[in-house]
Amino acid sequence: MSDTDSETQVFRPDDQIGGMSLAYVSTQTIPASHSPVSTSGPIAWMREKMFSSVSDTIVSLISLAVIILVVTSLMSWLVTNSVWTAGSLAECREIDTGGCFAVIVVRFSQFMFGFYPSELYWRPILAFALMFVAAAPLLHDTLPRKMLFFSAAYPLLAYWLLWGGSVWGIALFVGALVLTFVIWQLLKGFNMAIAAIVAGLFLVLWFMFAQGSVTSFIDNTIGFVGLESVESSKFGGFLLTFVIGVTGIVASLPIGIMLALGRKSNLPILKALCVGFIEFIRGVPLITLLFVASTLLNYFLPPGTSFDIILRVLIMVTLFASAYMAEVIRGGLAALPRGQYEAADALGLTYWQATQKIVLPQALKISIPGIVNTFIGLFKDTTLVSIIGLLDPIGIMQPIRSDSNWNGIVWELYLFVGLIFFITCFTMSRYSMYFERKLDTGHRS
Amino acid sequence: MKTKLLTLALGTAALAFSATANAATLDDVKAKDFLQCGVSTGFPGFAFTDDNGDWQGFDPAFCRAVAAAVLGDASKVKFTPTTGKTRFTALASGEIDMLARNTTETFSRDVDLKFTFAPVNYYDGQGFMVRKDLGVDSALGLSSATICIQTGTTTELNLADYFRANNMSYEPVPVETNAEAQEKYLANACDAYTTDASGLSATRSAFENPDDHIVLPEIISKEPLGPLVRQGDDQWADIVKWTILALITAEEVGVTAGNADQMKADSTDPNIQRLLGATEDNYGAMFGLDNDWALRAIKAGGNYGEIFARYLGTETPLGIERGVNALWTDGGLMYAAPIR
C-alpha cells in the first residue's frame, strides 16, 4: 500500500460528509488523562507489591524500619557525625562519635604514593595523566592514528618518570632496541630462527653487561641529564597497585595472544612449550609465585644484585595473567566457526595474514568479556603483594594502624581502599560493555 | 646429563654467592654507605610510619643506632618491611644486613636457621586482657573462658600448654590479625584476648575506654626479643651486639643523647671515658670502627632508657612499665657486659 492511498482514507471529524454536519461526532480529540491512581503509578505499585495482604504489610513495614535504621546510622557514621580533621583517633573520639576519616586525610599521600618523595609527586601524577592520553587512541578509534606513536613510547616514558634516572640510559635502551631490530632485519633473509636467536641474545647480553656501565660512562663524560632517581622501595599505596596492575594488563594481552596461538599451533615443540607453560602457571596459586619472587629468587642471585623486588613481582604477575589470558583467547579461537579458517586458507592467505586479518579480530571480539574479567581480577590480585611485605594500599594500613595515634582504626581504612578499587574496576567493566556494543556487528543468526 | 650439569653449576654459583654474602657485612655496608634494616610491617610501638612516611619505633631506633655507629649518620638506613613469613629469608639471602623485627630468640632460630642473636633488647611474654566487669583478677580464673587467639603463632601453643598444666579448659576463638582480634574482643566474641604483653598494652591503649579493661598479672611465656644477623660474620654480629650493650651501658652510667658530648669532654669516670672513646684504648678499631662509635650510637636516639621511654614507656599511649626491662640495678634484666 502506497502513502497516497493511506492519506486519502484519513477521516477528519470536521469534514462534512455529503454537506450534512455530523453533530454527534466530537470535533476535537479528548485529551488523554492519567490513569487512576489506584491502577498505576508508585502508589498502585506499592499497594500491589508491598501491602496487598496483612502478612505482606507486616513484612514491608519491618523491612522499611530496618532500611531506615541502617541508612540513618550509616549516614550518621559516614556523614553527619564523621570527623575529617584531627591529629589522632583519641582527638576524633573527643570531637564526634562517627567515623574517624581524619586518618585518610592525614595519610592520604601515603595511600596514594607510599614513600615516594613528596617534592616529586608531580612525576607519578604526570605519568598517570599521560596514561589516559596513551590509552585514548587504543580505546576510541575516532582519534588521530598518529597518537599511537605516543602510546608506543609511553611505557618507556612512564618508566623514566616514575623511577627517574639518566636520559642517556633511556636513549641507550631505545638504541639497543633499534639495533636489535636491525640485526633481525639483516639476518632474517638468511635464517629466521638464527636471526631471532642472535637478536634476542644481543638484547639480553646488552642488558646484563653493557647498559649500566655505558650509561654511567656517558653520565661521567658528557654529564648527567635526567630526573632524580627514586628506588623501588619508595613505591607504595595506589602507585604500586597501578604500576603492577597496568603493566600486567598491558603485557599480558600480547603474551596471552601468542600463547593461545602457540597452543593451537601445528608445530609440536612450540605447542608443547605453550601448553606446559600455561598449565604450570595455572596450576600454581599466584601467592606461591609471589613468594618465589620475594624469597626463593634471592638465594639464586648474588647479594647486592639490583634485580629489584617490584620488577620480580611484575614479571610473576605478568606471567600469571598471561596464562589466564591465553586460555580466555583460546576460548575465542575455538568459538570461531571452522569455515572462517577454511575460507582464509581458500583465499590463499598465509598463516600470519589469516590470523591477523580474519581469525584474531573475530576471536578477540568474542573474548572481550573474558579479557576484561581477567584484567579486573589481575588488578584486584595486586593486593596480594602485601603478604610479601610490599606496602600496597592494603599493606600500608598496617604501619599506619601501628602508629599509636591511629591504632584502633579499621573500617575507615578498608572503606576508603575499597571505594577506590570499586571506582577503577567499575570503570573498566563499563568501558568493556560499551566496547562490546560498539563492535557488535551482528553475527547472531 | 646436561640438566644435571646445569643444576650443579647453578648450585655452585648460589653457594659461591652465599659465601660472599657471609663475608664482611661491614665492608658491604660501608661500600654502599647505608644500612639495610629489616623491620616489621607494623607493630604498635615497635615499628610504624609517622605522618611524614618515615619509619619510627623501638626497632628502627636500634637500626639507626647501628647506622650511626658504623656510618656516622643515623639517617643512613633503608628499611625493608618484612612479614613474619619473609623475615628470615630476607636476612639469610643477604637482602637485609640486620633484622630488628620483634623476633623471639629461640633455639631453632639460632641453631637450625643459622642466625646470631644480638642481646635481647625487650623481654616480652604472653599475657591476657579481660574486661574489668568479668571480675577476674588472675589468669587462673579463666577456666572455661572463650579466648581470642591469633592462629599459627607460638602464642597458640603457649596457651594450650598453660591451660593443660593448670587443668583448665578454654574455648579458642581463632583470629588472623591483631586488628581482627581487637574488633572481636570489643564485640564480646571472647572473654579474653591473649598475645604478647606489649601487644596487649598497645591494643588496650587504642580502646575508647581503656580503663574498662585490665591486663592480668600472669605472664605465661618467655619472649626475649632482639635484633639478629646472619651466622658466620662474627665481626658484624659483634658490632650489632655491642651497639645495643653500649646503649644499655649509657643508661647505667647516665649518658644521654643530650649530655654525651659534654660527658666525653668532662667526665672522669673511666667507665664513661671508655664508652665514649675518651681514652686511648681504641676499642672501636678492634671491630673496624673508629673510637666514637658508641658516642654516635647514643647521640642517634639516646640511651636504652630514652628509646624505651620515647616509643613504649609510660609517657606514650602504650604506657608500658619498664618491669623486667629495667636495668639490673632497678630490679630488671638489662645487664650490659662491661666495655673494657
Q: pLDDT tens digits, residue range B218-232?
A: 899 998 999 999 999
Residue of B nearest to A111 (CA): B53
* Predicted pLDDT of residue B16: 44
Tell which A residues from 77 to 106 touch B, by Cβ distance under 8 Å. Answer: 89-90, 93, 106
Closest Cβ–Cβ partner in A89, A389, A398 for B86: A389
| Domain spanning B126-221: CATH superfamily | Periplasmic binding protein-like II (3.40.190.10)
Residues of A in contact with B40 (CB under 8 A): 402
Whose cell is 655507629? That residue is B69
Which of B7, B27, B40, B48 should be substituted to probe chain A, the one whose Cβ sees the most A Cβ atoms within 10 Å? B48
Cβ atoms < 10 Å from Cβ of B82: 26
Quote the DSSP letter at residue B178: H
Residues of B in contact with A414 (CB under 8 A): none
Tell which B residues from 89 to 128 touch A, by Cβ distance under 8 Å. Answer: 89-90, 92-95
Distance between A398 CA and the closest CA of chain B, angstroms: 5
> What H or E segment, with its residue span, contains residue B309?
helix B304-311
Q: At what angle do helices B197-205 and B178-186 cross, to 10 degrees?
A: 60
- Cα–Cα distance for residue pair A230/A390, rounded to 1 Å: 16
Pairwise CB contact (< 8 Å): A407 & B208: no
B211-to-A95, B175, B215 alpha-carbon distances in Å? 20, 24, 10
Three-state DSSP string of A86-146: CCCHHHHHHHCCCCECHHHHHCHHHHHHECCCHHHCHHHHHHHHHHHHHHHHHHCCCCCCC
Closest Cβ–Cβ partner in A114, A387, A404 for B45: A404
Distance between A175 CA and the closest CA of chain B, angstroms: 30
Distance between B216 CA and the closest CA of chain A, angstroms: 21
* Predicted pLDDT of residue A205: 85
The domains of chain A, with CATH numbers, are: 41-104 (no CATH), 113-165+232-439 (1.10.3720.10), 166-227 (no CATH)
Helix, strand or coil for residue B259? coil
Would you report the helix, strand and coil content of chain B in percent, each value rounded to 5?
Answer: 45, 20, 35
**Domain ranges for chain B:** 2-123+231-330, 126-221
Pairing status of strand B223-225 against strand B122-124 = antiparallel
Query: Helices marked H in A347-404 — which ranges?
Result: 351-354, 360-381, 397-402
Tell which A residues from 284 to 303 touch B, by Cβ distance under 8 Å. Answer: 291, 294-296, 298-303
Confidence (pTM): 0.83
Closest Cβ–Cβ partner in A89, A106, A389 for B81: A389
Helix, strand or coil for residue A62? helix
Name residue A233's beta-bridge partners.
none
Pairwise CB contact (< 8 Å): A303 & B53: no
Grid coordinates belonging to B186? 570489643
C-beta of residue B195 within 8 angstroms of C-beta of residue B182 = no
Closest Cβ–Cβ partner in A233, A396, A404 for B78: A233
- Cα–Cα distance for residue pair B306/B317, rounded to 1 Å: 16
Distance between A289 CA and the closest CA of chain B, angstroms: 14
- Which of A184, A134, A141, A175 lies closest to A155 in space, CA to CA? A134
Does B290 contact A at CB distance below 8 Å?
Answer: no
Distance between A395 CA and the closest CA of chain B, angstroms: 8
* Predicted pLDDT of residue A284: 93
Helix, strand or coil for residue B195? strand
Name residue B147's beta-bridge partners.
B172, B192
- Cα–Cα distance for residue pair A209/A311, rounded to 1 Å: 18
Closest Cβ–Cβ partner in B44, B46, B208 for A93: B208
C-beta of residue B125 within 8 angstroms of C-beta of residue B150 = no
Residue of B nearest to A398 (CA): B42
* Predicted pLDDT of residue A206: 84
Closest Cβ–Cβ partner in B49, B81, B203 for A403: B49
| Through-space distance between the first and last CA atoms of chain A, rounded to whole angstroms | 30
Name residue B150's beta-bridge partners.
B175
The percent of residues above 90 in pLDDT, for chain A, comes to 47
C-beta of residue B66 within 8 angstroms of C-beta of residue B297 = yes
C-beta of residue B148 within 8 angstroms of C-beta of residue B129 = no
Helix, strand or coil for residue A399? helix
Distance from chain centroid for Cα B190: 29
Q: B6 falls in which pLDDT band (50, 70, 90)?
A: very low
Residue B3, pLDDT above cutoff 80: no
Residues of A in contact with B203 (CB under 8 A): 407
Query: Helices marked H in A34-86 — which ranges?
Result: 41-49, 54-75
- Cα–Cα distance for residue pair A353/B48, rounded to 1 Å: 58
Distance between B255 CA and the closest CA of chain A, angstroms: 28
Which of B8, B40, B51 should be substituted to probe chain A, the one whose Cβ sees the most A Cβ atoms within 10 Å? B51
Contacts of residue B23, defined as CB under 8 A and 6 or more positions apart, other chains included, come to B233
* Predicted pLDDT of residue A15: 52
Does A399 contact B at CB distance below 8 Å?
Answer: yes
CATH number of this structure's domain B2-123+231-330: 3.40.190.10
Cβ atoms < 10 Å from Cβ of B289: 25
A208-to-A174, A201, A305, A313, B155 alpha-carbon distances in Å? 16, 10, 11, 19, 47
C-beta of residue B265 within 8 angstroms of C-beta of residue B325 = no
pLDDT tens for residues B257-303? 999 999 999 999 999 999 999 888 889 999 999 999 999 999 999 99
- Cα–Cα distance for residue pair A386/B196, rounded to 1 Å: 23
Q: Assess whether the region B2-123+231-330 and the region B126-221 belong to the same CATH fold.
A: yes
pLDDT averaged over every residue in chain B: 88
Pairwise CB contact (< 8 Å): B81 & A391: yes
* Predicted pLDDT of residue A204: 84
Whose cell is 658530648? That residue is B261
- Cα–Cα distance for residue pair B187/B185, rounded to 1 Å: 5
Which of A115, A300, A398, A417 should be substituted to probe chain B, the one whose Cβ sees the most B Cβ atoms within 10 Å? A398
User: Span B118-140, mean pLDDT?
Assistant: 92
C-beta of residue B228 within 8 angstroms of C-beta of residue B98 = yes
Burial category of A111 from C-beta neighbours within 10 Å (exposed 0-12, middle 13-18, buried 19 and up):
buried
Burial category of A12 from C-beta neighbours within 10 Å (exposed 0-12, middle 13-18, buried 19 and up):
exposed
Count how many residues are written for chain B: 340
A406-to-A108, A363, A397, B55, B58 alpha-carbon distances in Å? 14, 51, 10, 15, 17
Burial category of A134 from C-beta neighbours within 10 Å (exposed 0-12, middle 13-18, buried 19 and up):
buried
Helix, strand or coil for residue A21? coil
Helix, strand or coil for residue B166? coil
Q: Which long-range contacts (CB under 8 A, 24 or more apart) does A139-143 make?
A: A139/A431, A139/A435
Distance between B265 CA and the closest CA of chain A, angstroms: 38
Whose cell is 607453560? That residue is A277
Pairing status of strand B35-40 against strand B77-82 = parallel
pLDDT tens for residues B97-113? 999 998 889 898 999 99
Helix, strand or coil for residue A24? coil
- Which of B314, B190, B128, B185 lies closest to A404 in space, CA to CA? B314
Pairwise CB contact (< 8 Å): A295 & B89: yes
> Residue-wise pLDDT tens for chain A (445 aa)?
444 444 445 555 555 555 555 667 777 888 888 877 777 788 888 888 888 889 999 999 999 999 999 999 999 999 888 999 998 888 998 998 888 999 999 999 999 999 999 999 999 999 999 999 998 888 887 888 888 889 888 999 999 999 988 888 888 888 888 888 888 888 877 877 788 888 888 888 887 777 777 888 888 888 777 888 898 889 999 999 999 999 999 999 999 999 999 999 889 999 999 999 999 999 999 999 998 888 787 777 765 555 778 888 999 999 999 999 999 999 999 999 999 999 999 999 999 899 999 999 999 988 988 999 999 999 999 999 988 889 999 999 989 988 988 988 888 999 999 999 999 999 999 988 888 888 776 555 4
Which of B86, B114, B310 should be substituted to probe chain A, the one whose Cβ sees the most A Cβ atoms within 10 Å? B86
Tell which B residues from 65 to 94 touch A, by Cβ distance under 8 Å. Answer: 78, 80-83, 85-86, 89-90, 92-94
The ipTM, to two decimals, is: 0.83
C-beta of residue B55 within 8 angstroms of C-beta of residue B47 = yes
- Which of A296, A281, A245 lies closest to A425 in space, CA to CA? A245
Chain pair A-B, CB pairs under 8 angstroms: 121
Does A438 contact B at CB distance below 8 Å?
Answer: no
Residue of A nearest to B41 (CA): A399
Contacts of residue A409, defined as CB under 8 A and 6 or more positions apart, other chains included, come to A89, A100, A103, A400, A401
- Cα–Cα distance for residue pair B79/B160, rounded to 1 Å: 36
Residues of A in contact with B34 (CB under 8 A): none
- Computed on alpha carbons and rounded to an integer, the radius of gyration of chain B in Å comes to 22
* Predicted pLDDT of residue B8: 44
Tell which B residues from 218 to 257 touch A, by Cβ distance under 8 Å. Answer: none
